[in-house]
């Protein structure tokens, strides 16, 4: 029985082996072809869906930042804020000694009052000069009449030639005095701005004194430095009470908490279909597993290289083309209770361009 079974198996095995060989001969190409087809279909689907999103991790949080300073000099007398304090717009950050600025204001106010009195006095002087000129004009008229009378009498030998000459000389002298009086009145009128009847408030000298007062008041205001926008103060310890702070000298920093955005630097080849207003998904390395919504505010009109001190010169023979990056500003939609975003933090952005590729793009 065992010998028969063995013989049967020996007879069946070659045929079975042939069938397996034939099956393998067509299964392997089918599997290989199917695998290539699956990869091709998968690659095609990835390519069709791949042109919609612009992804980059070359992005960082940006905020309005400034180093506080003022254009006046003085001794620091008060610093009512401390390191890391969140301040509101208009809040006092530090103050210079107000005494010298108040003295300057008082001096400018006194100078303005004195200028007003001087101008009023000049107006009165001008009227006096006009009356003096009128008086001298009357004297000249009398001298002219006397001379004319003597000139007629000298022909009749009724008076001497000496009397006539004295009358002529007196007329000439009084005429010169009249001209001098008129020139003096004209000079006084010029000091009054050409119009003696005008109000003192409209005269140039008064405006000059008023400008000096305005400048003193401006410097007094600038002795108290206030926050230009809401933010957080930093490096406050660089400024100490009693320190002399020169004009335009850096005091400490202020970082805005209101105007915060993300600046991404995608490659130029990624921005073919990106436009202002596109929706953006933003995530920050410091807050994993959390996304923020955003909007593309603007795409820079030029690369950063265009604004560099030494831009690349592509006319040399060893020029190598390098893909450029364009700054993209993204507004992040923030809500109450969101964790803070601080300038310089790393971010990852996904810009939804809304563009869909088609098979026609392949041809």
Taking only the tens place, the pLDDT of each residue in 124-160 is: 888 888 898 898 899 989 989 988 888 888 788 777 8
Confirm whether 290 is domain-assigned.
yes
In 3D space, the residue among 98, 124, 108, 140 whose CA is nearest the CA of residue 189 turns out to be: 124
Confirm whether 335 is domain-assigned.
yes
Confirm whether 43 is domain-assigned.
no
Confirm whether 88 is domain-assigned.
yes
- How long is the chain? 363
Confirm whether 304 is domain-assigned.
yes
User: Is the same domain home to 340 and 328?
Assistant: yes
- With a CB cutoff of 8 Å and minimum separation 6, the contacts of 207 are none
Taking only the tens place, the pLDDT of each residue in 204-223 is: 889 999 999 999 999 999 99
Q: How far apart are CA 128 and CA 136, in angstroms?
A: 12
Neighbours of 129 (CB within 10 A): 19
* Domain that includes residue 88, residue range: 69-98+223-251
Our CA angle for 162, 166, 170, nearest 5°, is 175
User: Is the same domain home to 60 and 73?
Assistant: no
Q: How far apart, in Å, are the Cα atoms of 176 and each of 73, 147, 164?
A: 56, 16, 19
| Summary mean pLDDT of the chain | 86
Handedness of CA 267, 269, 275, 280 (dihedral sign): negative
User: Is the same domain home to 105 and 93?
Assistant: no
User: Is the same domain home to 236 and 93?
Assistant: yes
Q: How far apart are CA 102 and CA 117, in angstroms?
A: 23
pLDDT at 9: 46
Span 169-180, average pLDDT:
90
User: Is the same domain home to 105 and 215?
Assistant: yes
Confirm whether 23 is domain-assigned.
no
Asked which of 219, 234, 267 is the last residue of a domain, the reply is: 219
User: Is the same domain home to 190 and 296?
Assistant: no
Which residue shows structure tokens 């028969």?
A: 4
Confirm whether 37 is domain-assigned.
no
Taking only the tens place, the pLDDT of each residue in 64-104 is: 999 999 999 999 999 999 999 999 999 999 999 999 999 99
- Report the CATH number at residue 89: 2.40.50.100
User: Is the same domain home to 111 and 172?
Assistant: yes
Q: How far apart are CA 13 and CA 8, in angstroms?
A: 9
User: Is the same domain home to 108 and 207?
Assistant: yes
Tokens of 185: 């009145």
User: Is the same domain home to 269 and 302?
Assistant: yes
User: Is the same domain home to 108 and 214?
Assistant: yes
Strands (E), the chain: 53-67, 74-78, 86-87, 92-96, 224-226, 231-234, 244-245, 253-264, 279-284, 287-299, 328-332, 346-352
User: Is the same domain home to 243 and 298?
Assistant: no
Handedness of CA 70, 74, 79, 83 (dihedral sign): positive
- Report the CATH number at residue 293: 2.40.30.170
- Burial of 327 (C-beta count, 10 Å sphere; 0-12/13-18/19+): middle
Number of domains in the chain: 3
Confirm whether 243 is domain-assigned.
yes
Taking only the tens place, the pLDDT of each residue in 311-336 is: 666 666 667 778 889 999 999 999 88
Strands (E), 160-276: 224-226, 231-234, 244-245, 253-264
Taking only the tens place, the pLDDT of each residue in 7-63 is: 444 454 555 566 666 556 666 676 677 777 777 777 666 666 666 888 999 999 999
User: Is the same domain home to 272 and 303?
Assistant: yes
């Amino acid at each position: 029985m065992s010998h028969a079974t063995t013989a049967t198996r020996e007879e069946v095995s070659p045929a079975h082996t042939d069938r397996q060989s034939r099956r393998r001969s067509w299964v392997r190409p089918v599997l290989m072809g199917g695998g290539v087809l699956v990869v091709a279909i998968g690659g095609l689907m990835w390519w069709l869906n791949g042109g919609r999103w612009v992804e980059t991790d070359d992005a960082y949080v940006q905020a309005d930042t400034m180093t506080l300073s003022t254009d006046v000099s003085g001794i620091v007398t008060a610093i009512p804020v401390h390191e890391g304090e969140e301040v509101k717009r208009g809040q006092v950050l530090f103050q210079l000694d107000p005494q010298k600025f108040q003295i300057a204001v008082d001096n400018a106010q006194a100078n303005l009052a004195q200028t007003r009195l001087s101008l009023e006095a000049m107006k009165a002087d001008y009227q006096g000069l006009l009356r003096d000129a009128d008086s001298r004009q009357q004297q000249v008229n009398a001298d002219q009449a006397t001379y004319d009378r003597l000139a007629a009498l000298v022909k009749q030998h009724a008076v001497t030639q000496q009397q006539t000459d004295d009358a002529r000389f007196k007329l000439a002298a009084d005429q010169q005095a009249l001209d001098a009086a008129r020139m003096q009145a004209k000079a006084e009128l010029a000091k009054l701005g050409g119009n003696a009847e005008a109000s003192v408030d409209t005269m140039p000298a008064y405006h000059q004194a008023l400008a000096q007062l305005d400048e003193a008041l401006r410097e007094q205001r600038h002795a108290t430095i206030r926050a230009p926008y809401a933010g957080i103060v930093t490096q406050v310890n660089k400024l100490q009470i009693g320190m002399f702070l020169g004009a335009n000298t850096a005091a400490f920093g202020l970082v805005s908490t209101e105007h915060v955005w993300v600046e991404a630097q995608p490659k130029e080849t990624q921005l073919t279909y990106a436009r202002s207003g596109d929706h953006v998904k933003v995530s920050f390395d410091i807050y994993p597993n959390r996304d923020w919504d955003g909007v593309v505010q603007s795409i820079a009109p030029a690369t950063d290289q265009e604004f560099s001190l030494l831009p690349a010169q592509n006319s040399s023979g060893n020029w190598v083309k390098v893909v450029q990056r364009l700054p993209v500003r993204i507004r992040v939609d923030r809500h109450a209770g969101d964790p803070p975003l601080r300038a310089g933090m790393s971010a990852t952005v996904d810009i939804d361009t809304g563009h869909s590729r088609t098979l026609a793009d392949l041809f």
